[in-house]
Amino acid sequence: ATVGRNRPVIAIERGRDSVADARINLTAREARIVKADVERWRPSPAPVVVADPAREGLGKRAVKTLLRADPSVLVLVSCDPSSFGRDAALLLDAGLHVDRWTVLDMFPGTSHVETVARFTR
């Protein structure tokens, strides 16, 4: 997903390596990188949320946390079809709608795919 160039970015990362990577990848942006579990994050309002969780997905608590940011757009990236299905159902139950989605075969020759979906209010 592309985030507007003039908008600040808040990256919530749980792993030390992910935090280090975010610091490198976001050097050209106005960005704040927070090392935390997303379930414990206290979000402020954000027009766009991009969630790219680990294989186990977001789950109920993380979805509730992200929805407290009251985004008009939430992009979910998932590397596991079953956790994507569960998380998508939670977002749909919360009143969001699937606007667009695609499946990417980023690892040819394996059973792994990435699903990317855009949810809107």
Domains of the chain: 1-36 (no CATH), 38-120 (3.40.50.150)
CB 74 within 8 Å of CB 96: yes
Q: Tell me how far apart the alpha carbons of residues 60 and 65 are, in angstroms, rounded to a whole number.
A: 9
Active site residues: 79
Q: Residues 87-119: pLDDT tens digits?
A: 999 999 999 999 999 999 999 999 999 999 999
Residue 25 DSSP class? H
Range with the lowest mean pLDDT among 28-42, 68-82, 95-109?
28-42
- In three-state secondary structure terms, 17 is helix
